[in-house]
Amino acid sequence: IRGLHYDLETGFFLINKVISPDLQINVLRRQLDEMARRCREIIVSPSSERERCKVINRILFHEFGFRGDREDYENPLNSCMDAVLRRRRGLPITLSVMYILVAQRIGLDLEPIGLPGHFMVACFHGEAPFYIDPFDGGRFHELGGIRELLEAQNISPELYHVVPVPVGEVLCRACRNLVAHFESRGQADWANRFRVFVQEFERTHQRESQA
């Protein structure tokens, strides 16, 4: 955390290894590689960013059957990439990260978007940005639609709601989720372990912002 050399994929795997020290990271990478391979088999060139995202949706949510875990949302396993890949369900943030990592493997750069209480993916290439909700089966949203979603929750839309979240903040948010979800299950030791990480992210961010 203090080194500031944040990488989305490695960071999520390291969070996962805190819970599962024997985790075989290469196995997870091969699973992501396989989903990307299936996408490449279907993509027809040339294709737009939106068309490639439609292929990703087809592979992830129809062929592999990933979905948002609405029934057991606060299960800490939903924050662990190995469990998400195994159980085919997860939180908005873990599904979004998985989506971004698969997209990277097919040469498509997508961005993490941290809405209040939710997480999405965005594409800023092409004529206009568009947003994807992996928790909702890859549903597409335009910028105006994001504004409407926020206003429906009585949230005044701000620019920071719809622009990319730095990788460090994505990782910190994942740790915050684990704090809350372990606490909800009465697992204080685990909650405190991830609380230390959150505090370190926050101290590091504060130190860098003052530098």
CA of 135: how far to CAs of 65, 111, 146, in Å? 12, 15, 15
Q: Where is 85: in which H helix or E strand?
A: helix 81-87
- 50 neighbors 130 (Cβ within 8 angstroms): yes
Q: What is the pLDDT of residue 211?
A: 67
3-state SS assignment for residue 73? coil
Global pTM exceeds 0.85: yes
Q: For residues 47 and 53, give the distance between their C-alpha atoms in angstroms, rounded to a whole number.
A: 10
Q: What is the pLDDT of residue 3?
A: 87
Q: What is the pLDDT of residue 149?
A: 92
DSSP letter (8 states) at residue 159: G
Q: What is the pLDDT of residue 131?
A: 98
Q: What is the pLDDT of residues 95-137, one digit of tens each?
A: 999 999 999 999 999 999 999 999 999 999 977 899 999 999 9
The length of the chain is 211
Q: For residues 35 and 85, give the distance between their C-alpha atoms in angstroms, rounded to a whole number.
A: 11
Residues of the chain with pLDDT under 50: none
Phi, psi at residue 113, to the nearest 5°?
-125, 120
Q: How many other CB atoms are found less than 10 A from the CB of residue 144?
A: 9
Q: What is the pLDDT of residue 142?
A: 95
Q: For residues 200 and 210, give the distance between their C-alpha atoms in angstroms, rounded to a whole number.
A: 15
Q: Where is 68: in which H helix or E strand?
A: strand 67-68
| Unique residue bearing structure tokens 């939710």 | 118
